[in-house]
Amino acid sequence: QPLGSASPTISSSSSSFVPIDQHHVQDAIQVINEHKQFNQQIMEYIHGATLPGQIVGNDYHIISVFGSQSTGKSTLLNRLFNTNFDVMEESRRQQTTKGIWMAVSPEVSTTSSKKSTENVFVMDVEGTDGRERGEDQDFERKAALFALATSEILIINIWETQVGLYQGANMGLLKTVFEVNLSLFGQSKLENNTHKVLLLIVIRDHIGVTPLQALAETLITDLNKMWLDLSKPAELSHLKFSDFFDVDFHALHHKVLQPDEFSKDVKLLGDRLVVKKELFKPNYHHQIPVDGWTMYAENCWDQIDNNKDLDLPTQQILVAKFKCDEISNGVYDEFVAKHHGLFDDKVPGENVDYEQMGLAMVDLREDTLDDYDTSASRYNQTIYEQKRQALKEKIHAKFREVFDVHAKWVVETGVGQFATDIKKLKTRKDKSFFQGAQELEHKYVSLINTSLQLISLGEFHDSEVILDVKARFDAVVAKQQVVEMKAIIGRALAKIDAGVSKALQQELASPDDQTWERVMARFHELLAEVKARYAGTGTVPDFGLGTSDSDNVAGVERLQVQAWVALHSVVHRVITRDSVLQLMKDKFEDVFRYDENGMPRLYQKVEELETSFGAARKQTQQMVPVLEEMRTSEGAVVPRYSARAMRAAGFGARARASDAASEGSDDDSNSDSDDSDNETTPTPFSQVLSPADRDHVASRFKRETDAQFVETKRLVIQHATH
Ligand code: GDP
Ligand code: MG
């Protein structure tokens, strides 16, 4: 029947064994029963037999005793380890239950009064001498495999009387042990595995006549001989007995005949184990932390019982993987619970303290990893580290959810404030827009970085939010650069507008054939002046905006084109149909009514009046050809840019209402088919007054001066007749 369903078999306390020293005695538990089943309750037993935290990780030892029935194995274990394994009663001489038993030693018997703190598990392998009774050598072999796969020290009993008898009791068992050991560790020995087992040969009923040294030499000779006789695979044949085993000896006096000496000998063995600690060595340990021991032992037994090759390193890795995962999942669940508590209610905003939040994250991560390390670090290093890394990544993924939410807010806010502040940037003599923008960007980027660094655990540099920051800032700067350049060009155009307007106003007092020469000269002068401000250092202009060379070149180009548009618009604002008419009226008045000295003229005769009137009108009318068209000695003024470029600069929109840019001044006017189709007769750029305007001005002027003439003539005639 399976062991799980029955209560674990605990060795009976009806045993006749009564310890001499009154120590606490620990009952044993059956690890493998006579049906070769593994006991599921080993871990419970270990927990029950030890104090919480008494055994941490690999801080325990396993010693097995192995050998023929009735060689005093259980007796030795009970005396040495204060356990309660079944001992055959003299009176009954029956075989004890077959199987593998284990007990936690509550205390190792020593000559010292101080209790040792070593944790020792003891395994008693019962009923292994199948060869003597001609039965079940299978179990003997499996038990040996199990003992070697788990134990650091293997105790073998030999009666003194049998030393030197090569075929004596237990020597056959040793052969099995050698073979089995070779199958377990042979292959890994070739890969420089340093693992060994200590064969502790205990000579029983040692009378003391033959010194232990001599007995040991004899036994070593026998062991070597046995090793040489062993049939080994060819690739392992060069390996020595000592590559696999350390051997040590201890002699016990006759238990019945020399009970005191026997007792002393047992305590001396205890001294060697836990006081002098000369028998345990690190390379005997199988490096399975106690939490994983049951799983490891059961896996090993499963492989052994199913006659599979028992590959110990693989088993160690499997156990390490399973346990490290289990530990990792456990600590991660706790982590998630704490994480919820700490961060779920933290809504991004002004009142989140990122320093405190970052510290809480670091603390939580460290606590979680510490918890993991405490339990997992003693498993196979590679697996432990792999699983630790995986755990760390899971932790970071969880933190990253928080990070992303807050980072988004921090970046949004920073970029938003930057966009507001950059609009208010005052360009000063000593600091260009670009320098100001850079300082501002630096300020906000470091504000963002500081906040994010606090909650990034130094890990999230690849976060999209962070990778995006630079682009976000660049976009704000680029947008503002466009605004700033527009403003700069706007100011330059205003300056040109004002300058040209002033020059024109001056000309209007008395326009002559040099008028447009001077106006255009002033225009070019103003344009050169504003361009000089953005001349830059080399051949490329610079607006101090941090814009690209090509943007700067395009900016200056736009400024120039728009300057022409501005010129056109100023001229048309100042010189209109009405303003020209008014100018002419004023001028006529001046010439007709006043003499060269500014004195009012008094006309005496009609002839005089007629001459003067004709001259004044002619002189006045001379203004019109000057003003009606922008013309210099080089001919009609033509912008240096194509109609298309002019329209792009806003010329078309304004011009279409009254005028249109001159076509054919540049190359690509034909490509603009839309406009060419509509405009049957394009108005030249240089045209200030249209023919209709001119007719209007001429007729109005004529009508008004005619009226004046008639009126004046009437006065002259009246005067003459009186
Ligand atoms: P096991 O079958 O190897 O576990 O042997 P036990 O411990 O059950 O002992 C078998 C018998 O040998 C018991 O009757 C013990 O009293 C006896 N015995 C135990 N130790 C010694 C010893 O050192 N010398 C002698 N002569 N008998 C012993
Ligand atoms: Mg026994």
pLDDT in tens, 615-657: 999 989 888 889 999 999 999 998 888 888 888 877 765 444 4
For residue 507, which amino acid is it? E
3-state secondary structure of 22: coil
Q: Which residue has the higher pLDDT, 346 or 305?
A: 305
Cβ–ligand 1 distance for 155 under 6 Å, the answer: no
- The sign one gets for the Cα dihedral 34, 39, 44, 49 is positive
Q: Confidence band (pLDDT; 50, 70, 90) for 251?
A: very high
Tokens, residue 221 = 């000779």
User: What pLDDT score does 661 carry?
Assistant: 42
For residue 671, which amino acid is it? S
Q: Span 158-170, mean pLDDT?
A: 79
Nearest-atom number in ligand 1 for the CA of 257 is: 26
pLDDT of residue 721 exceeding 80, the answer is no
Ramachandran region, residue 67 (left: φ > 0; alpha: ψ -120 to 50; beta: rest): left
Contact 84, 25 (CB under 8 A): yes
CA–CA dist 348, 465 (Å, integer): 15
**Nearest alpha carbon, ligand 1 atom 24:** 255
**447-454 — which CB contacts under 8 Å span 24+ positions?**
447/414, 448/410, 448/411, 448/414, 451/354, 451/406, 451/410, 452/354, 452/403, 452/406, 452/407, 452/410, 453/358, 454/354, 454/355, 454/357, 454/358
Contact 163, 218 (CB under 8 A): yes
**Nearest alpha carbon, ligand 1 atom 9:** 72
Instruction: Give distance in angstroms: CA of 129 to centre of ligand 1.
Output: 15
- What 8-state DSSP symbol labels residue 7? P
User: What pLDDT score does 256 carry?
Assistant: 92
CA–CA dist 198, 486 (Å, integer): 90
User: What pLDDT score does 23 carry?
Assistant: 63
Cβ–ligand 1 distance for 253 under 6 Å, the answer: no
| % of the chain exceeding 70 in pLDDT | 89
**Nearest alpha carbon, ligand 1 atom 22:** 255
Contact 437, 423 (CB under 8 A): no
pLDDT in tens, 540-549: 888 889 899 9
User: What pLDDT score does 193 carry?
Assistant: 84
- What 8-state DSSP symbol labels residue 514? T
Domain ranges of the chain: 3-87+95-310, 315-421, 479-599+622-689
Q: Which residue has the higher pLDDT, 65 or 14?
A: 65
Spell out the residues 6+ positions from residue 228 whose beta carbon is closer than 8 angstroms to its own. Answer: none
Q: Confidence band (pLDDT; 50, 70, 90) for 681?
A: low
Q: Confidence band (pLDDT; 50, 70, 90) for 665?
A: very low
Q: Confidence band (pLDDT; 50, 70, 90) for 490?
A: very high
Ramachandran region, residue 384 (left: φ > 0; alpha: ψ -120 to 50; beta: rest): alpha
Cβ–ligand 1 distance for 205 under 6 Å, the answer: yes
Cβ–ligand 1 distance for 97 under 6 Å, the answer: no
Nearest-atom number in ligand 1 for the CA of 75 is: 7
pLDDT in tens, 288-300: 999 899 999 999 9
HSE value, Cβ hemisphere, 13 Å, CA-based, for 494: 6
Q: Span 108-113, mean pLDDT?
A: 93
Cβ–ligand 1 distance for 258 under 6 Å, the answer: no
Q: Span 244-266, mean pLDDT?
A: 95
In this prediction the ipTM stands at 0.99
- Looking at domain 3-87+95-310, its CATH class is alpha beta
CA–CA dist 660, 685 (Å, integer): 7
Cβ–ligand 1 distance for 75 under 6 Å, the answer: yes
Spell out the residues 6+ positions from residue 425 whose beta carbon is closer than 8 angstroms to its own. Answer: 433, 436, 437, 440, 480
Q: Which residue has the higher pLDDT, 165 or 522?
A: 522
Backbone angles phi, psi at 482, to 5 degrees: -65, -45
